[in-house]
Amino acid sequence: MEFLLIDDDADDRQLFKEALEAADASVECREAAGGEEAFHQLEKGQEPDLIFLDINLPVMNGWEFLKKLKQRDQLREIPVVIYSTSSHQRDKEIADKLGATCFITKPDQYRQIRQLLANIVQHLKHHTIASLSQAIGC
């Protein structure tokens, strides 16, 4: 299983990767600091099982990235979890409208991030992505 984390905050990317490693070391995690960098990876055929996408990104923000991804036939089926500090209902509605699989407000404690990622990985090992939002409550 492979995840792609798109986040411009290097500290957040490091924390996410450490928590994922602790949750399940078998899951690979690639990272990109922005939407353009992520598209370069995807266009090279490096398609992850799941994308974690921050909203506030330089140059191409998360909404722009998600729109562009969903317009590409070969990429539109990649599930996207919006992973943001935002907890605004409006952002959740936009995410849903644009085709995100799930919207998660970033936990602020390492233990919570690790538990969240462990739950996601466990769910994906035994169930389809379609039921992910119900399983983790997003």
Most distant CA atoms of the chain, gap in Å: 37
Q: What percent of the chain has pLDDT over 70?
A: 97
Which residues lie below 8 Å from residue 108, measured CB to CB, with a gap of 6+?
Answer: none
pLDDT on residue 22: 96
- Element (DSSP H or E) covering residue 52: strand 50-53
The answer on pLDDT for 135 being more than 70 is no
Q: 126 near 114, Cβ under 8 Å? A: no
Question: What domains can be seen in the chain, in order of their start residue?
Answer: 2-136 (3.40.50.2300)
pLDDT on residue 127: 80
pLDDT on residue 6: 98
Tens digit of pLDDT for each residue in 96-117?
999 999 999 999 899 999 999 9
pTM above 0.85, yes or no: yes
The answer on pLDDT for 50 being more than 90 is yes
The answer on pLDDT for 80 being more than 90 is yes
The answer on pLDDT for 15 being more than 70 is yes
Section 61-82 average pLDDT: 95
